[in-house]
């Protein structure tokens, strides 16, 4: 069927989740410690859980196809109009839809080396040509982070879309608000700039700034967010884009009518409202992230600075052995070979207990 597929789909590799976790869980003697997918170990707001359960009473009717209540809540939260919010089945869907709508054969899409894998998938599936801008060097203060000058230089008259992530997955690195404003000012107005802020709620770096306030002045800007990370609703699949109402009106044409389900809509709205739960999760993550980074560095492992709920750690030539050794001990990390980072593992920051178990296993494997 390869030959029957559209040119952009031919030769494309499906998104690689790392491991077959269901098979690993089934085979494991004890519960796995799953630190491979940047999930939030503190779990969702209890209010979000109750809202999802309550919503199941209406499981026999279709969800609100417009997601109006959640859009209005998000609009209030971000200080934008409800018409500036597009909901997706996870932000993954929104990211794919952007390329589907705005790029095609003969067009170019720019993304960064070591940028999130979905951008390349979206561009290629849309039939567009992907141009990867080189990342910052490994010895930079933001190792392998986005190089905004290189991204700008990769833009050509054929470029329709640029994807950036701030902070970025899998590097954990970020760029400053000031640097982004200068970048955006230099991008032609007919090139859409998509800033993926999936980890925004975790950030406290003083030089970071959300791109959301820039929407008012830049109709070519799109900001994506998700409920999968700090809001801990990855299993319910809710993400969204914030952009100019006219841009989103075009995207609405190809959105599956009921793409966000009823429990997901209800849970997301409740989670957004439970700021106490969010703040507790974010604070716990920050403390554990810094403690884990320090513990890894004390073991001679280079760790990139991170404003997210994960760390990119360099294990050098021993990487594959360490990953397999940890897996044999029930600790799942994310191998990075797919990103061309075969000497690194990406580690989701767990709870204090999770991180103690990880470090104990690591000490055995590294001994």
Residues that bind ligand PMP (CB under 6 A): 38, 90-92, 116, 165, 169, 196, 198, 226, 228, 234, 239
Query: Considering the complex, what minimum distance in angstroms separates the CB of residue 169 from ligand PMP?
Result: 3
Helix (H) or strand (E) holding 193: strand 192-196
Closest CA to 107 of 153, 161, 163: 161
Interatomic CA distance for residues 172 and 142, integer angstroms: 9
Nearer to ligand PMP, 225 or 244 (CB): 225
Cβ 226 to ligand PMP shortest distance, Å:
3
Sign of CA dihedral 199, 138, 163, 187: positive
Backbone dihedral angles phi then psi of residue 73, each to the nearest 5 degrees: -65, -40
CB of 3 to ligand PMP, least distance (A): 30
Q: Token pair for residue 288?
A: 């554990």
> Shortest gap between Cβ of 165 and ligand PMP (angstroms)?
4
Q: At what angle do helices 117-125 and 91-102 cross, to 10 degrees?
A: 40
Residue number, 196 or 323, with CB nearest to ligand PMP: 196
> How far apart, in whole angstroms, are the C-alpha atoms of residue 184 and residue 213?
13
- Nearer residue to ligand PMP within complex by CB, 251 or 365: 251
Between 115 and 361, CB nearer to ligand PMP: 115
Closest among 292, 299, 234, 293 to 268, alpha carbons compared = 234
CB of 227 to ligand PMP, least distance (A): 7
Backbone angles phi, psi at 130, to 5 degrees: -90, 130
Min CB(116)–ligand PMP separation in Å: 4
Q: Which is nearer to ligand PMP, 345 or 362 (CB)?
A: 345
Residue placing its CB nearer to ligand PMP in the complex, 226 or 319: 226
**What would the two tokens of residue 71 be?**
């859009």
Q: How far apart are CA 266 and CA 252, in angstroms?
A: 21
> Token pair of 361, please?
């296993």
DSSP structural state of residue 263: H
Nearer to ligand PMP, 341 or 365 (CB): 341
Report in angstroms how near the CB of residue 289 gets to ligand PMP at its nearest: 15
Q: Which is nearer to ligand PMP, 183 or 362 (CB)?
A: 183
CB of 237 to ligand PMP, least distance (A): 7
* Cβ atoms of residues 128 and 109 within 8 Å: yes
CB of 63 to ligand PMP, least distance (A): 17
Please choose, from the candidates 72, 71, 98, 97, the residue with its C-alpha nearest in 3D space to the C-alpha of residue 86: 71
Rounded least distance, CB 29 to ligand PMP, Å: 28
β-pairing verdict for 33-34 and 331-332 = parallel
Residue whose CB is less far from ligand PMP, 106 or 235: 235
Residue number of the CB closest to ligand PMP reads: 90
Find the DSSP H helices in 274-338: 275-298, 319-328
Strand-strand pairing, 344-348 and 310-314: antiparallel
- Which is nearer to ligand PMP, 196 or 274 (by Cβ)? 196
Extract the tokens encoding 153: 């230089």
Cis peptide leading into 167, omega within 30 of 0?
Answer: yes
Between the CA of residue 1 and those of 4, 15, 218, what are the distances in Å? 5, 19, 42
């Amino acid at each position: 069927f390869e030959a029957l597929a559209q040119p952009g789909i031919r030769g494309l590799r499906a998104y690689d989740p790392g491991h077959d976790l269901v098979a690993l869980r089934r085979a494991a003697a004890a519960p796995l410690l799953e630190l491979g997918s940047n999930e939030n170990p503190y779990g969702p707001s209890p209010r979000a859980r109750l809202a999802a359960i309550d919503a199941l009473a209406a499981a026999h009717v279709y969800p609100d196809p417009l997601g109006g209540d959640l859009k209005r809540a998000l609009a209030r939260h971000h200080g934008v109009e409800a018409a500036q919010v597009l909901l997706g089945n996870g932000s993954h869907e929104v990211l794919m839809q952007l390329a589907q709508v705005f790029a095609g054969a003969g067009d170019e899409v720019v993304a960064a080396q070591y940028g999130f894998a979905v951008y390349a998938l979206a561009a290629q599936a849309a039939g567009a040509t992907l141009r990867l801008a080189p990342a910052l060097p490994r010895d930079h203060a933001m190792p392998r982070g986005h190089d905004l000058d290189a991204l700008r230089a990769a833009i050509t008259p054929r470029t329709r879309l640029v994807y950036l992530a701030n902070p970025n997955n899998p590097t954990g690195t970020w760029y400053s608000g000031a640097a982004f404003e200068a970048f955006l000012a230099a991008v032609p107005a007919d090139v859409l700039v998509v800033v993926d802020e999936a980890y925004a709620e975790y950030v406290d770096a003083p030089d970071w700034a959300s791109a959301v306030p820039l929407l008012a002045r830049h109709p070519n800007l799109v900001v994506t967010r998700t409920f999968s990370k700090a809001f801990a609703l990855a299993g319910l699949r809710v993400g969204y884009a914030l952009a100019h109402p006219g841009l989103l009106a075009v995207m609405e044409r190809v959105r599956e009518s009921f793409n966000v389900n009823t429990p997901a809509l209800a849970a997301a709205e409740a989670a957004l409202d439970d700021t106490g739960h969010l703040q507790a999760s974010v604070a716990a993550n920050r403390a554990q992230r810094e403690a884990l980074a320090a513990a890894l560095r004390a073991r001679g492992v280079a760790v990139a600075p991170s404003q997210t709920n994960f760390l990119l750690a360099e294990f050098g030539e021993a990487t594959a052995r360490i990953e397999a050794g940890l897996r044999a001990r029930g600790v799942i990390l994310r191998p990075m070979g797919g990103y061309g980072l075969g000497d690194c593992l990406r580690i989701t920051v767990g709870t204090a207990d999770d991180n103690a178990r990880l470090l104990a296993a690591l000490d055995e494997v590294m001994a």
